[in-house]
Amino acid sequence: MKARDLVELANRNLREAMLRNSLTTLGIAVGVASLVAMLSLGVGLQNLASERLSRTGLFDAIFVAPQTNLNGFGRPVRPANAPAEPPRPLDEDARHQIEALPEVVEVYPEIRFPTEIRFAGNPYPTVVAGLAPSARSDGAFDGMKGTYFSSPSADEAILQIDFARELSNQPDTLIGQEIVLRYAERQALPADTAGGNSGGGFSIVPREEKLRIVGIVETEPAAGMGGFGRGRLLIPLQVAETLRAAQATDLRDLLRDKPSQRTYESLTVRVKGASQVQGVEDALKQMGFTAFSLLDATRNLRLVFAVFDLLLGIFGSLALVVASLGIINTLVMAILERRREIGVLKALGAADRDVRRLFFVEAGAMGLLGGVFGVLMGWLIGRAINFGTNIYLTRQQLPSITIASVPWWMVAAAIAFSIGVSLAAGIYPASRAARLDPVEALRYE
């Protein structure tokens, strides 16, 4: 039997039992819609998490710290009989060496220090944090009031909203006004060659710096390893380094051979892309430092999302399995109603495989239509979820997000899966129809 004849017969048979076949196709569509809707939630949440983390710049960042001779439990890492070697300090020389690595774009320290500011004649204690130029792409500044820093060296400040409310009952009026930053500056002392001190030291001198408020941010951006949620006054990193404000690590620097040279507790290394993170991380470890990147942690995150998507797919497929039972029921009923037709086809020379193919075409047609309408329904469900979620977020004064996403590969996979399930459900009815004896079939009725 030719393919054209099979299609015409299948189309005629589907039209004759329009209501029953439509209900079966609708069952398939509902199953596909539930599958697409659940998988779209998994894909959307994964894309949302990846996008938010990528916009913080943490995926292409490596956090560097000096090695220690003790592990997390205070026990020596090296064997007892091994000579104790002091760890390499993370100082200016090390910073310049790291900046010379080919894939490195930016190297900056985490500058954060407690101080106070004076505004309207009143002192306010706060914590100052320096922001690297790359922090501009952080999602925390998307909905900020005012503007970002005009240049990396501008004497400007961005306030965290809670701190801005301490300064004024109307935080928006602070934009454009000046504040005075009072801090303790670290000044290097000249070497005392007469006294035998060739290393020098440093002194602490009180200083003041005028800053102009240019913006107010709702949430604080990421500021390095462990640097979440502690900076209330944000200034450009270049300005923060120029201030040479005293920090907690300064006391430790006095015990080093070169107290005049600044050491860092940690550095953040930005590379050109996430694919270069592992190579730069290995190079930093060979230089004698401890290196860590969030890509190490995201491997576990991808595993969690993979399991999550698998569970959503399993639960979403249950409705499609139930729909396949409807296909079996519809085609079995068609066999009982069309026994005479099947007998005539076999009497005219139709082989068993022709009858089997006829029922497969009918099952595949219902699977195709059900898959197309199911994908459309699943997409509409995802749009409704996004719409409802964003209404709620808007009322909570939060930015809009996309929580459900239907990529093209999911559309193709859902339709193919629907056709495959329909064909699998048609195996038993097709085989049963092919086994009918034409003589008994012609006696039917």
pLDDT tens, residue order, the chain (445 aa): 666 766 776 677 677 777 777 888 888 888 888 888 888 888 887 777 766 666 555 667 888 888 764 344 334 444 444 445 667 778 888 888 888 888 888 888 888 888 888 998 889 998 888 888 877 776 667 778 888 898 888 999 999 888 889 898 888 889 999 999 988 887 766 655 444 444 556 677 888 899 999 999 876 655 444 444 457 889 998 888 888 887 666 655 555 555 555 677 788 888 887 777 888 888 888 888 888 776 665 666 667 767 777 777 777 677 667 777 777 777 777 666 666 676 777 676 777 777 777 777 888 888 888 889 989 998 999 889 888 888 888 887 777 788 888 888 888 888 888 888 888 877 877 777 777 666 665 555 5
> What was the pLDDT predicted at 335?
67
Q: How far apart are CA 59 and CA 53, in angstroms?
A: 7
Q: How far apart are CA 325 and CA 24, in angstroms?
A: 9
> What was the pLDDT predicted at 106?
85
**Same domain? 275 vs 399:** no
> What was the pLDDT predicted at 178?
92
The two three-digit tokens of residue 182, written as one number: 């009072």
Q: How far apart are CA 230 and CA 440, in angstroms?
A: 85
Q: How far apart are CA 130 and CA 264, in angstroms?
A: 14
Last residue of a domain, one of 266, 293, 320: 293
The two three-digit tokens of residue 268, written as one number: 């953040």
**Same domain? 311 vs 288:** no
pTM of structure: 0.55
**Same domain? 90 vs 134:** yes
What does each C-alpha distance from 24 to 379, 419, 431 come to in angstroms?
A: 21, 13, 20
> What is the Cα 181 distance to its own chain's centre?
37
> What was the pLDDT predicted at 228?
40
What does each C-alpha distance from 381 to 311, 323, 356, 403 come to in angstroms?
A: 19, 19, 37, 12
Contact 240, 153 (CB under 8 A): no
**Same domain? 385 vs 283:** no
**Residue 199, phi then psi, degrees to nearest 5:** -90, -25
Closest C-alpha among 9, 22, 11, 112 to residue 373: 22
> What was the pLDDT predicted at 211?
92
> What was the pLDDT predicted at 75?
42
> What was the pLDDT predicted at 71?
42
Report the DSSP beta bridge partners of residue 118: 123, 180
| Number of neighbouring beta carbons within 10 Å of residue 13 | 20
Q: How far apart are CA 367 and CA 90, in angstroms?
A: 64
Q: How far apart are CA 282 and CA 440, in angstroms?
A: 78
Total number of domains constituting the chain: 2
**Same domain? 45 vs 109:** no
**Same domain? 102 vs 151:** yes
**Same domain? 241 vs 329:** no
> What was the pLDDT predicted at 213?
92
**Residue 216, phi then psi, degrees to nearest 5:** -130, 125
**Same domain? 189 vs 91:** yes
What does each C-alpha distance from 445 to 306, 330, 338 come to in angstroms?
A: 55, 20, 10
Q: How far apart are CA 237 and CA 114, in angstroms?
A: 15
**Same domain? 66 vs 11:** no
Last residue of a domain, one of 243, 269, 293: 293
**Same domain? 339 vs 233:** no
What letter does residue 194 receive in the DSSP assignment?
T
**Same domain? 42 vs 92:** no
> What was the pLDDT predicted at 298?
62
Quote the domain boundaries for residue 246: 61-293
Last residue of a domain, one of 275, 293, 311: 293
**Same domain? 191 vs 321:** no
